[in-house]
Structure 1
């Protein structure tokens, strides 16, 4: 059923594998929404829309698939969970505009907390502050995505997302509310947002906002994302297309040398500003009750 660009779909399974190409620490995720109105050109979740019979480009940005039964299914699947950390919001921002209507996240947080599951919420949206108390009580992490602080770049590649300044203020608000807050510095865009002064400005402002750590991820271009991003690149920066072809492999991963250089620069900046850098150490929790691992 479609409602103003929201398409309700009953999910059979909600805890799903995170593609390795995603670059985040967690291997499993739950996403109340698929697709994202933030319309980030480099979003690695775009291919998921193809499996729903939608396209990975404009449909991903405008046809948001809602899973109204996500809490019910999540509780059932967590009854067999082994305590491995879960990411929330990988298939689409879990606090995008659809959440204002459907309010699925309080139930998701409650289900994860009741099961004793460790989890990290990924978002760009200030709506997460609504649930700050729930997140703090659950011992959850929130990872706010801030890849760069240049508004010209943000308007070009994240046209529906809040400004970098708004997200920096969000980090401060979450820290003040007692929520452990990291910054997912993703995606760093080759030849567009990777200059030394750009990286330094971004890390400096993240540190000033009070983030506990930075998790850098260089742009990934898996199928679905690759076509949409490169189409934009050909229009906006045609001189860079050949360099991108040299930089990325067929799986959509950047060359190890380039990625290592960029993440190394960011790690050095983080040390300078007294922040942690890199993926958090996985700390599986004991399940709330005797359970079997999900296979």
Structure 2
């Protein structure tokens, strides 16, 4: 692993004590190619992860070479920002702790209402400071990445109309939502606010957005509602993925900046596969973290994993969004001569703008379709996961027809679909995205995925099946199905002319990008 970056050394573990749970930190590395990200190279004691016995998945084991993701966003505020607590007190952000209850909001029946919100995580960073000044005298110090709720939806402090930095951003034509810092004393008590509709009671029009020209220490929190009230206005937070908390790492900022890399995973795997007790059960790759995420281009852990599985006689499957799979196609072809292997590409959204909005930082549908073609040209079959299908967004006949046409043209040998499945850890993140990008759909999604309901209603799934099955047949595509031999989805074409709908999405929702 020769990086053209900076080795921080094992002393980094002193700053991140939870890494001791990872069994032997080798070194921590930063590189210009991944600005702001630290890779913690560890010597793992195990490579194979046993799937719980009650799971309905066709595989019994998984391998996850990486923990963490570089796709998340960074949000932060000045530490003196006043936070409205659930009991009505005002506290500076620096004094708010994990477990505290603050005032947040949620959408009920299409209307945003105040509610109590528990702090799940807190972290600090250093960012370029901007001052947002409002007409009532309220001032907010925030990073350019931070988002506030405006009269036109969620917007970042800074952004651009086009190019790499394109995103919704604040202008002096916007007003923020809330009661403002000047209206705190005149606002109704929190007991009155909880359950009440969010209404702007002060003049919160933006009068200036100033770049302060320096980096300053900032803080942010993650809450159960995905937002909180900062200086009297509704402020967005990053809904943290909880997987890093086991390591005593921050569930928010650390998830995308502290990446765990099991550098010895292939060697450990060989040892585990050589044990007499190993029964050559199916092993699935890509069910929790994508094995072909960008860091794999640096670490090249997959070639050793593929070789270890093949030479031990262990069948396996690979599910990925990563076009880096093409690098290892010769190895996968050779492995397929020794053991059953299934390959699948996840390609859910074929509208480019929508895909980039839902899956920022991931390869485009066009690039993934080209990878399907490359797999086929290498002599392997390849399934396409047309999942999840997003109600009212990608379930139109036009989108489904175009998706299936492109999958067929790329050479897909089987296809699977399923409607959107919103587990508890993903639902708040997805709903925040929906409120920002498609607020008109929020009431419809709330009615479909109400309470703890994670699945689309049976009636909707039945309707979707009736819509998509004729299109699948029309494009000459075959059905895909779970394969207990490889632990994945059988990529070899079958007869039957209809795709199977899976009960839930393969993959962990801990990373939002992994859901799609």
TM-score in terms of structure 1 length? 0.83
3-state DSSP class of the match of 1:220? coil
- Residues 62 and 285 of structure 2 are in contact (CA less than 8 Å); yes or no, is this contact kept in structure 1? yes
Alpha-carbon distance in structure 1 between the residues aligned to 2:251 and 2:418: 21
Structure 1 residues 207-242: Cα deviation after superposition (integer angstroms, max 9, x where no partner):
000011112132222232222222222222223233
Structure in which a larger fraction of residues adopt helix: 1
The 5 A counterparts of 1:191-230 are 191-230=392-431
In structure 2, what is the equivalent of residue 3 of structure 1? 29
In structure 2, what is the equivalent of residue 274 of structure 1? 476
More displaced, 256-265 or 203-212?
Answer: 256-265
Does residue 114 in structure 1 map to residue 311 in structure 2?
A: yes
Q: CA RMSD in A?
A: 3.0
Q: 1:271 to 1:127 in 2, by over 3 A?
A: same
Does residue 31 in structure 1 map to residue 84 in structure 2?
A: no
Structure 1 residues 147-199: Cα deviation after superposition (integer angstroms, max 9, x where no partner):
02100111101110111111111110111012221111122222221212111
Alpha-carbon distance in structure 2 between the residues aligned to 1:146 and 1:160: 14
The 5 A counterparts of 1:121-160 are 121-139=318-336, 140-160=341-361
Task: Report the Cα offset of residue 124 of structure 1.
Answer: 1.6
Alpha-carbon distance in structure 2 between the residues aligned to 1:267 and 1:81: 40
- Residues 283 and 486 of structure 2 are in contact (CA less than 8 Å); yes or no, is this contact kept in structure 1? no
Alpha-carbon distance in structure 2 between the residues aligned to 1:120 and 1:69: 21
Q: 1:267 to 1:126 in 2, by over 3 A?
A: same
In structure 2, what is the equivalent of residue 254 of structure 1? 456
Task: Report the Cα offset of residue 109 of structure 1.
Answer: 0.2
Structure 1 residues 19-73: Cα deviation after superposition (integer angstroms, max 9, x where no partner):
89x9975353212122334569xxxxx5434434456666544443211122133
Does residue 86 in structure 1 map to residue 249 in structure 2?
A: no
- Residues 317 and 486 of structure 2 are in contact (CA less than 8 Å); yes or no, is this contact kept in structure 1? no
In structure 2, what is the equivalent of residue 288 of structure 1? none
Alpha-carbon distance in structure 2 between the residues aligned to 1:137 and 1:157: 35
- Residues 68 and 258 of structure 2 are in contact (CA less than 8 Å); yes or no, is this contact kept in structure 1? yes
Task: Report the Cα offset of residue 259 of structure 1.
Answer: 2.9
Question: How many residue pairs get matched?
Answer: 281
In structure 2, what is the equivalent of residue 293 of structure 1? none
Q: 1:265 to 1:68 in 2, by over 3 A?
A: farther
- Residues 33 and 91 of structure 1 are in contact (CA less than 8 Å); yes or no, is this contact kept in structure 2? no
TM-score in terms of structure 2 length? 0.49
Alpha-carbon distance in structure 2 between the residues aligned to 1:64 and 1:254: 33
Does residue 48 in structure 1 map to residue 248 in structure 2?
A: no
Match of 1:238 among 439, 450, 458: 439
Alpha-carbon distance in structure 2 between the residues aligned to 1:116 and 1:86: 11
In structure 1, what is the equivalent of residue 259 of structure 2? 64
In structure 2, what is the equivalent of residue 283 of structure 1? 485
Does residue 101 in structure 1 map to residue 298 in structure 2?
A: yes
Alpha-carbon distance in structure 2 between the residues aligned to 1:134 and 1:176: 14
Q: 1:134 to 1:190 in 2, by over 3 A?
A: same
3-state DSSP class of the match of 1:180? coil
| Unaligned segments of structure 2, at least 5 residues | 1-26, 31-36, 74-240, 488-516
3-state DSSP class of the match of 1:215? strand
Q: 1:284 to 1:149 in 2, by over 3 A?
A: closer
Structure in which a larger fraction of residues adopt strand: 2
| Unaligned segments of structure 1, at least 5 residues | 41-45, 286-295
